Structure 1
Amino acid sequence: MYPFSKNNYKKFFRQLSLLLIAVFLTLPFIIDSFGRSSLHRLSEFNIFFADTTKPVTKPKKAGTTPAEGKQSIVNDLKPDTVPVPATAIFTPTDSLPTVKDTVIVDTLNMPKMSADSLDARVTFKATDSIVLRFKEKRFYLYNNADVKYKDIHLTAARMNFSQETGILEAMNVTDSTGKKQGRPILNSGDQETESDTIRYSFISQKAKIFHTKAVYGEGFVHSEQIKKSPDNTIFGFRNGYTTCNLDTPHFAFRARKIKVIPDKIIVSGPANLEIEGIPTPLFIPFAIFPITQGQRSGILPPQYTVNQQKGIGLENGGYYLGLGEHLDLTMRGAIYSYGSWGLTLSPTYRKRYKYNGGFNIAVATTRIGDKEVKQDFSNSRDFRVTWNHSMDSKARPGTNFSANVNFGTSTYNTYNTYDYATRLNNMMSSSIAYSKSWAGKPYNLTVSMNHSQNTSTRDVVITLPEASFTVNTLYPFQKNGVSGTPKWFEKIGVAYNLNARNTASFKDSLFGKEGMLKNMQTGIQHQIPISFSIPITKNITMSPSVNYGERWYTKRIVRTYDSLNNKIDTAYQGGFYRLQEMSVGVSLATAVYGMYSFGKNSKVTKIRHVMRPTVGMNYSPDFGSKYYYNLRIDTGNTARAFQRVSYFDGSVYGTPAAQAFGGISFGLDNNLEMKVKSKKDSTGERKVKLLDGFGFNGSYNLVVDSFKLSTINFYARTNLFDKVNISATANVDPYQYDSLGRRTPTYAWKGGKGFNIGRLTDVTVSMSTSFQSGDKKSKQKEQQKQDIETEQTSDAQMQAQQRQLEMVRRNPGEYVDFDIPWRLDLSYSLNMSKSRTSDYRRDTTIFNQYLSFNGDFSLTPKWKVGLNSGFDFINKRIAYTTMYISRDMHCWQMSINLVPFGSFRQFSITINPKAGILRDLRINRTRQFQDL
């Protein structure tokens, strides 16, 4: 306790007497001081400790009136600062005086500033007490002291300041349990330093700090002593650099001396890696830790790996070259002991508010086996090119250009990728598109180039170019400025669509050769739809329509039967071929609602059924018969030896129907849902969907002699309990087939073998669901996701995100969410289709049934096991499977990734820090067993 607060009456009265004598002697000086100058602010060191014996006259600014040259000090006072007499000493038992009257300060009679005054205001506060000792020229703050000076903010349990030396000292305190409380924290700009003791000089703006922990980006520097220069450069003694945020970190790089240049770099001399306080044999002659924000060129360190086929190697090493705010280049390479190598160039470009994009050009040579043993030796040269480009929508309103290109050799993924998603995907596709819409006009233009490639079959399809021009629906009979209900002919709308396409299909071995252009197909399609609607009743609408179209081709296919070799030959004939088509029709649509109510005691209150039937009458003349001919597919003169085919099978836009159609089209869509009682809903009822949609559609041709009824399409879709997504489609052919698989004009239900609506030609069923336990941080993660989506991401950040996703796919065990105890995703698909073979001689049925599943669960809060696999029911084998085991070690993470069987068996174990700045400091052991 302080002397003034001790319970000693004799000593108290003796001190009180001395205090009254001192006040009596100094009272004339105090009165004189108040008469000549203003109150001093407690929150300013330079004014409070100023020499006030020699007044100084401050020159008056031009154009300043006497009223403008004065100000009220009360308006400048903060809640934690009050004016007090210069000789007062505040103790825990003192009461602070208050200011009741407004005091006017005359700026022309300000006191002269002393030589040791500061050049900026210092504000301070403390929770417990503030003690000033004028004879010692010292200033004390107790409990939660807080001081601000320029861009420096210092907090601590206790502080003291000496005016003679200009040194402010901040320190912590020890509580009754022996724990340190209120450690000093110094914030200078963006730099934060936490320590036991801080000594800061206001004169030299230097600081000496003891037992400190400073934060630099993702890293922390622990030092026994540091010296801080006026430019914030730091020199440390006995230091440790780590990315672990604990006071006693799990690991650190220990160095005797370091130098920190804020926002640039941390440099140290010889450093030793220490784990759990135990030094390791790993020494480095020097260490450089960049803490720079923004673009900087530099070396990208490689990763050590061991590959069963390629040998010992170094991967992903290279150089990053920053070429300014609009361009940069990343170069990475890989080299292996068996002679394989790879090189990747990744330039990116950007212009803010205009466009951004990037290339990825990769070449690789893979050598497997011994060159002397030819049957086991293979040498593959591969390449892959990707390009992405996007345009800011605000750069040129109405105009857009985008590119997403991905092509390469068929074996590139086989030898140069390791994640299961890339290996299982045997399709590569590209698209480059330009679109233009005219403001205030109904015109739209799109021009694109497309590419698709199957790496398994080595089939390549290139569309160059593809264009479409559309004119939106116009109403030529509609009058301008006419109010009221329009007449029926004013609702007639006319539109125009033009599509053009040039397509080439070939094997990838023919790329750039003459055979690439041999099978090129060119086509142009015109369509002019005319439509309008007429309401017949309140619930029924009639919609007549007329459609006219033409298809223009420059080549047709002629097939002939080679009886000598018993095969079909194909030839192409050039020219100009004009195909016409036309249709007229009218359709009726309505909706019918049905409701069934249950009793009061039933939990289900209502079931609602909605039916939406559609009926249409259509007529299309026979414009397509002349484009068909009978092709002999076998020897003999029987009907089975011939097949009806078209000259334009496989053309860009197909062939019009070979017969007239005049009939009825029909369809029925249904929706089924119910309402159940619920206390959670404000209405007392909750809506539950039973079937989102189910129904059928088809047509009946009245003008043909046979095959009048079309195939019937059935469909259904629902989401059960908002958890299980189910969808199914099926096409049923209502006619019978003979023993050779040919269609006959007899309905299926007339077969005499029980009721049969027809033959299934294709069926698709898919189901998916997902289950997971609760996530305590779900709201926080959702907010972070929204912040990322709303934040404008630079192109460099987008490239970094893409590389991060690639790392996630390649090493799933390193990127797991320990906040979710378990998770399970299931997906099931069933596909069946029947079609004729390419020689038209028989039917073929393709049947696929597949179940995929992936999930993970936590053995403990720090151990996670995951699996991604599936099962092929047709081939009766397990699909490509990956497993991982991950261990959260606070600032480090261990992961084991395993591909247990298949053509690409693999095992890897990785231990690495979580921080991105140390992502290359990893211990990795990989084994790959590739069956070729």
Structure 2
Amino acid sequence: MPRDTSRRAGDSLIPKAPALPVPAEEPITDSFPVSTDSTGTDSLYVPKISKDSLEAPITYKAKDSIVLLVPDKRFYFYGTANTKYQKTTLNAERMMYDQATGVMEATTASDTAGKPYGRPQLEDNGQAFDSDTLRVNIASHRAMIINTRSQYGEGYVLSQKTKREADNSIFGYRNGYTTCNLDTPHFQFNARKIKVIPDKLVISGPANLEIEGVPTPLFIPFAIFPITHGQQSGILVPSYIVNAQKGMGLQNGGYYVGLGENFDMTLRGDIYSYGSWMLTASPTYRKRYHYNGGLTLSFSNTRLGDPSVKEEFSRSRDFRITWNHSMDSKARPGVTFGASVNFGTASFNTFNVYDYASRVNNNLSSSINFSKTWQGKPFNFTSSLSHYQNLSTRDVNISFPSATFTMNTLYPFQPKEVVGRAKWYHKLGIGYNGTLNNSVQFKDSVFGKPKMFDALQSGVKHSVPISFSIPVMKNFTLSPGVSYSEFWFTKKTIRQWNPNKRVSVDSLGGIDTSYQSGFFSARQASASVSLSTAIYGMYQFSKTSKVKAIRHVMRPTISASYAPDLAAAAYYTLKYNRDGDSLRQSYFTSSSVGVPSEGRSGSISFGLDNNLEMKVYSKKDTSANKEKKIKLLDGFGINGSYNLLAKEYKLSPFSLYARTNLFDKLNVSASGTLDPYEVNARGVRIDRYVWQEGKLSLGRLTQANIAMSTSFTSSDKKSKEKEQQINNIENDQSTDAAFQAQQRQLEQVRRNPGEYVDFDIPWKVDLSYSLNYSKQIQADSGGLVSSFQQYVSFNGDFSLTPKWKIGLSSGYNFSDRKIAYTNMYISRDLHCWQMSINLVPIGTYRQFSITISPKSGILRDLRINRSRTFYDL
């Protein structure tokens, strides 16, 4: 058949035969033979295989047409062509196969506007290539690729010309390496020559960093990029920082060590020009469907001032230990174990942490908990370690070990099947609660020293409650009860006034504390009965009013109790100043299992809880009533008691509270304590009510607090879509390392939401206000102490552009008349990278830092940046 040299429109490389009509309606699929030479004269015909035959057939198809030129041994494919040979798959708009040379050529087509389409896509032995033009030898797997883009692990190589050898190694000419998955990447390292060793390394000669198509001054003599599949070890690039006290430095640089599917470790370090440094080790562990957790150990050495001037030089050595552990509930049904430990020196945050939330938090707390529930039985066991630390006062409280064994309430007189009306004794229940606790309170400066162990307290408490409930009339419930508690202690705390003790430069007198070891016990018993009900009131407005009705619900409670004086020996009189003022205090004040009350008690307790709601007209309501409920007050009330058997101070202080959420925006909570008794000139109570002095009041305000908070956020049209994407990843049961890494990243985002900014939310503002007042006698301070604190805090961010966001976190202390710790940041979304500029503009520890780092795949998809240089401690 004569060869036709005519050209197909849009194709300048491939000739087309003239007269081979092929239907274009359906794709053509076939396989062509691997041999063109076969002879035989017998019925048992065995063909001879030619030397140029392939090891397997090639399957092929094309939407438009397939043309075979028999003399030239060539096949031409038009229209979304696809060929497969063993593990090699090639897709392109145009293809030509030369059977004589075994070379398959694929090219890109162009439409009438000159726009290219149908780029060749090659997949061979796990390697993928996207290119303009591709020539591959089917038998040897060698290939020449023009203008290609291929992926290796998490990186992409863009090459003007690529040569692939039979061993799958790649040699590229005029290349770019990047981790950005866009066709036009935001950044890349440009290198003239590059070599790829499959599943191992990408190696290049001299390379230059290019950002947004602009070459930078950064040149490197050579580059080695590991091809990562899942977990890989590597260097963590530090960020640049300038600190007013420490000087210039590099922060958060280090090394990540991958130790397998279940373990890894991050090593980080900070170093500053004035000699300060910090080292952090963060190993993590996990076992799917069983447990996961992580530990962080940080040690720092801070140098402030000039070492040659002793008066201006100071050094602080600090540490911080954190540990988080969680157990999968399905691992061992009925058994749970978890840990959240955060322990360190008081000055660690001051010198080493610059995150706003951490700097303004003066408390550290830890807990380790184990619990077991016996299935089908009424027994529960819990054991824990807890730690509380006040960084301002440097007080530390540790409880360990603590254990509680509980038997749920049993009803021994209740039959398995009740016939007729239940008897009152059917509701009689008995339970048991046993508590063991060891605790110690000390200043952090004596940690590990004998003084700390002298303060160690141990105690055991046994409680046996007996209770039952009796319906009274129609709307009342009567609940009698009896309880007995036994307390065991191993140490007495004896505090005495010492007039010769120097507590300050210009004053003498203070309290000495001593301890007496041994076995001590105390007990208490009580009997009580309570009556409660609920009263509803409704006020209806006119039909034309937008306010339809207001409903008021009152829940009054009254109870009576009697307790004999079984703990008189557990109390003594403590003098606490030179004027002879004193108070009654227990020998076991610091006991972690509590202390029984002193004196006989025949009390009548009362309480009143209220709830206020309003119905208003609403156009948005789809029902016929067109009404909407609004809560005016979620709860407000008062509690108190009157002891009929007390010799003095029979009326207890009144406790008041209120809470609400106005318009679903403003959260308000308040509480206070009113003491009904008068005080003398030194603030000591006297047995005389305030209203007996002619004051129109329930009592003196001794403690009060109020807190308000609100948040305003612009709408996020993609919020539901994002939440669904996050839920899909979190619920994915795949054991693939990439999915597990995404799940850990999302857990980090949920655990530290303040460290991340969402570029799909244009703006966000959070406001909070708190006021605390206290006026009480404190023995260690020598008498009446007043405290008044008022604080407002705010944080928020807004988008300057779709890819630029600025944020601010700060506050104001009205009591000290000072601006609180302030942190500002600017974050830039670079798609595959992120940039954060952090600034602490005021205060002793002013700081500036800038971080540019790659972004994980899940954060890239959700358009979330990590805005802080602070990392988990």
User: Across the two proteins, how many residue pairs are aligned to each other?
Assistant: 833
Alpha-carbon displacement from aligned partner over 1:371-401 (angstroms, at most 9, x marks no partner): 3222222233333333333333333333333
1:557 is aligned to 2:493: yes
- 8 Å Cα contact 2:186/2:830 also seen in 1: no
Give the match for residue 227 of structure 2: 291
Give the match for residue 718 of structure 1: 660
Separation in 2, partners of 1:674, 1:391: 45
1:122 is aligned to 2:122: no
Alpha-carbon displacement from aligned partner over 1:213-241 (angstroms, at most 9, x marks no partner): 22345433211112334564432221111
Separation in 1, partners of 2:719, 2:361: 32
Give the match for residue 695 of structure 1: 637
Give the match for residue 776 of structure 1: 717
Structure 2 residue corresponding to 1:681, chosen from 612, 621, 629: 621
Per the TM alignment, residue 546 of structure 1 is displaced from its structure 2 partner at its CA by: 0.9
SS in 1 for 2:545: coil
Alignment of 1:128-527 (within 5 A): 128-134=64-70, 136-188=72-124, 191-229=127-165, 232-303=168-239, 305=241, 307-311=243-247, 313-482=249-418, 485-527=421-463
Per the TM alignment, residue 288 of structure 1 is displaced from its structure 2 partner at its CA by: 1.7
Greater fraction of residues in strand:
2
Give the match for residue 570 of structure 2: 627
Give the match for residue 528 of structure 1: 464
SS in 2 for 1:509: helix
Separation in 1, partners of 2:823, 2:848: 10
Give the match for residue 727 of structure 1: 669
Distance of aligned partners of 1:57 and 1:715 in 2 relative to their CA distance in 1, 3 Å threshold: farther
1:665 partner letter: S
Distance of aligned partners of 1:750 and 1:391 in 2 relative to their CA distance in 1, 3 Å threshold: same
Distance of aligned partners of 1:471 and 1:50 in 2 relative to their CA distance in 1, 3 Å threshold: farther
Give the match for residue 80 of structure 1: none
1:623 partner letter: L
Separation in 1, partners of 2:571, 2:372: 39
1:615 is aligned to 2:558: yes
Deviates further, 317-326 or 259-268: 317-326
Per the TM alignment, residue 770 of structure 1 is displaced from its structure 2 partner at its CA by: 0.9
Per the TM alignment, residue 901 of structure 1 is displaced from its structure 2 partner at its CA by: 0.7
Alpha-carbon displacement from aligned partner over 1:617-657 (angstroms, at most 9, x marks no partner): 22222223443333444567xxx644333333333344322
1:540 is aligned to 2:480: no
Distance of aligned partners of 1:293 and 1:57 in 2 relative to their CA distance in 1, 3 Å threshold: farther
Alpha-carbon displacement from aligned partner over 1:466-508 (angstroms, at most 9, x marks no partner): 1211111112222335555432212211111111212222222
Give the match for residue 885 of structure 1: 826
Separation in 1, partners of 2:84, 2:828: 44
1:856 is aligned to 2:797: yes
Alpha-carbon displacement from aligned partner over 1:161-218 (angstroms, at most 9, x marks no partner): 3444443332222233332223223345765432211223333333322111223454
Give the match for residue 750 of structure 1: 692
2:163 partner letter: K
Structure 1 residue corresponding to 2:598, chosen from 658, 663, 669: 658
Per the TM alignment, residue 549 of structure 1 is displaced from its structure 2 partner at its CA by: 0.7
- 8 Å Cα contact 2:648/2:687 also seen in 1: yes
Give the match for residue 43 of structure 1: 29
SS in 1 for 2:29: coil
Percent of aligned positions that are identical: 56
Deviates further, 835-844 or 486-495: 835-844
- 8 Å Cα contact 1:50/1:112 also seen in 2: no
TM-score w.r.t. the length of structure 1 is 0.81
Give the match for residue 11 of structure 2: none
Separation in 2, partners of 1:370, 1:276: 44
- 8 Å Cα contact 1:46/1:117 also seen in 2: no
Deviates further, 534-543 or 144-153: 144-153
SS in 1 for 2:350: helix
Separation in 1, partners of 2:706, 2:471: 38
Distance of aligned partners of 1:797 and 1:750 in 2 relative to their CA distance in 1, 3 Å threshold: same
Separation in 2, partners of 1:447, 1:524: 14
- 8 Å Cα contact 2:535/2:553 also seen in 1: yes
- 8 Å Cα contact 1:589/1:615 also seen in 2: yes
SS in 1 for 2:720: helix
Let me know the Cα RMSD of the aligned residues. 3.8
Separation in 2, partners of 1:334, 1:855: 28
Any stretches of 5+ residues in structure 1 without a counterpart? 7-14, 21-40, 59-108, 920-925
2:622 partner letter: S
Separation in 2, partners of 1:553, 1:807: 41
Per the TM alignment, residue 819 of structure 1 is displaced from its structure 2 partner at its CA by: 1.9
Distance of aligned partners of 1:771 and 1:633 in 2 relative to their CA distance in 1, 3 Å threshold: closer
Separation in 1, partners of 2:488, 2:832: 66
Distance of aligned partners of 1:740 and 1:302 in 2 relative to their CA distance in 1, 3 Å threshold: closer
- 8 Å Cα contact 2:34/2:56 also seen in 1: no
Separation in 1, partners of 2:380, 2:183: 64
Distance of aligned partners of 1:581 and 1:751 in 2 relative to their CA distance in 1, 3 Å threshold: same
TM-score w.r.t. the length of structure 2 is 0.86
- 8 Å Cα contact 1:534/1:543 also seen in 2: yes
Structure 2 residue corresponding to 1:647, chosen from 587, 593, 601: 587
1:577 is aligned to 2:517: no
Structure 2 residue corresponding to 1:604, chosen from 533, 547, 552: 547
Give the match for residue 670 of structure 1: 610
- 8 Å Cα contact 1:218/1:917 also seen in 2: no
Per the TM alignment, residue 800 of structure 1 is displaced from its structure 2 partner at its CA by: 6.5
Separation in 1, partners of 2:752, 2:495: 51
- 8 Å Cα contact 1:57/1:110 also seen in 2: no
Separation in 2, partners of 1:218, 1:641: 74
1:760 is aligned to 2:718: no
Deviates further, 714-723 or 416-425: 416-425
Per the TM alignment, residue 869 of structure 1 is displaced from its structure 2 partner at its CA by: 0.6
Separation in 1, partners of 2:471, 2:751: 56
2:775 partner letter: K
Give the match for residue 74 of structure 1: none
SS in 2 for 1:784: helix
Any stretches of 5+ residues in structure 2 without a counterpart? 9-16, 22-26, 501-507, 861-867
- 8 Å Cα contact 1:131/1:141 also seen in 2: yes
